[in-house]
Amino acid sequence: MSSDSCRLRLVAIDLYSTDNGDDRYNINEHPDSFFQKEKKRLGDKIPFTVTMSIIIPHAQNFALVACWQPATETAISDGSAFADLFNDFIDGDDDFRNSRFKLIPRIAKGSWVIKQSVGSKPVLLGNKIACPYYRADSYFEIDLVRLLPSPTSYPPSFLHYTYLSSLLYVRAHAQDVSSSVVANHVVGLVANAVTSLTIDMGIVLQVRYYLWEKGK
C-alpha cells in the first residue's frame, strides 16, 4: 500500500568541515548553518526546521547535514495522526525519541557486496548509536554520532549508520574514516568495491498504536 505524501520536504543538504570537531554538534547554532542563514533572511517567519547531522569520524571534522521543513503550513499542526506523533516526538524525552526515530536504508546503485551487506532492513537508530537531540523554538536537531558499545556481535542492521558515514569518503580517506572496530571492518570490506554509490535514506517516525483507536 502506498503511503501518503511526505509531510516534511527536504530543503537543504550540505557537507561541513569544521576546525573544531565540537562545532558539528547542534550545528543549527553555527553561524554558517542553513538554519542560521535562513533565520537571518526570514526572521521570526522561518518555518520549523528538522535537521539531521551525520557526524563523520575524520581528521577534517566532516558532518553531512540535511534539513527538512513542513511541506504545507499546517503539516505539523493540523491535528492529524502524523502531527500528533511529530509533536510528541520533538517534545518527548530521549527514551521516547529513541523508540520512534527509524532509518530505512537502500543502496540504489552500488556493488553487489555493499547491497548484500547493507540490505534494506529498518533500524531504530537511537537504540544502536548515540543520538543527541536538540530542541529549540524553531528547530529540532538529531545528531548521529557513533556506534554504542554492545556485548554481542553486530548484525547487518547495526552497520547501516557506519556504512552511511564511512562510505562517503572511503575512496579518498579509507585510513581515516573511523576509529571503531565495526567501521574498520566495513571499510576493509568495501574499500576495493566502491566505484560509485547512490544511497536512499528513508527517515520515519514509528507508530506503535492503531491510528483508528484515536479516530484518525
Could you read off the pLDDT of 38-55 as tens digits, one per residue? 999 999 999 999 999 988
* Beta pairing class for 139-144 and 133-135: antiparallel
Query: Per-residue pLDDT tens for 98-141?
Result: 999 988 877 777 777 667 766 677 888 888 778 899 999 999 99
Helix, coil or strand: residue 179:
coil
CA distance 80 to 89: 14
Q: Which is more confidently placed, 29 or 147?
A: 29
Confidence of residue 186 (pLDDT cuts 50, 70, 90): low
Cell of 203: 527517515
CA distance 153 to 134: 30
Across 51-67, average pLDDT: 86
User: Measuring CA to CA, which residue among 165, 169, 170 is closest to residue 187?
Assistant: 170
Structure confidence at residue 108 (pLDDT): 79
Structure confidence at residue 187 (pLDDT): 52
User: Measuring CA to CA, which residue among 132, 179, 122, 180 is closest to residue 155?
Assistant: 122
Instruction: Using alpha carbons, list the distances in angstroms from residue 164 to 73, 77, 106.
Output: 32, 32, 10
Residue 75 has pLDDT above 80, yes or no: yes
Specify the pTM: 0.75
